[in-house]
Copies of this chain bind each other. A is one copy, B any other.
């Protein structure tokens, strides 16, 4: 998606060879006009999948997942990064964040996932895939099926990409990064794998 890539180039900040900050318009401050265009682009890519629910992880995934959920007219479920103390019947798992260099508990109320659910997982970033793998464990434990994985920004050179492709999940990413070198992003060619 050219417009997202241009925005990242103009307003994102590369930190070293594997981190990129997009908090000016995606995951702290949000540009709602750009986000609507992101959701429209995803909608065109996934509208023929048999999606019954979108699952994301707080907080960066909520706005794009909500924007797409309004177009698909399916519920959105955001998994929480917290101890499941206040939940009735939680599913939970440990996830290691390479970005923050620490683990957190990912949790969800079991009743909001069912064996009938066909799920599109959507997040702002796909990097090492640890967050996705955590969500996948909880979805599969509930008997749900993952019918696609979507990311606004994907670091193709990290492990998440290969993990998802090897599992034959359809993968949709709008701004796939091949490499970051000297503060400059080299985009990967393909948008849909």
Interface positions of A (Cβ within 8 A of B) = 23-24, 28-33, 35-36, 58-59, 62-63, 66-67, 69-70, 73-78, 80, 86, 100, 108-109, 112
Contact = CB atoms under 8 A, between A and B. Distances in A.
A23 B63 contact: no
Contacts of A36: 70
Q: Majority SS of interface residues in chain A?
A: mixed
Query: Assembly of this chain: how many copies?
Result: 2
B31 A75 contact: yes
Contacts of A58: 58-59
B69 A66 contact: no
Contacts of A23: 109, 112
A69 B24 CA distance: 15
A32 B63 CA distance: 11
Given A63-B63, A80-B59, A73 B28 contact: no
A155 B70 CA distance: 28
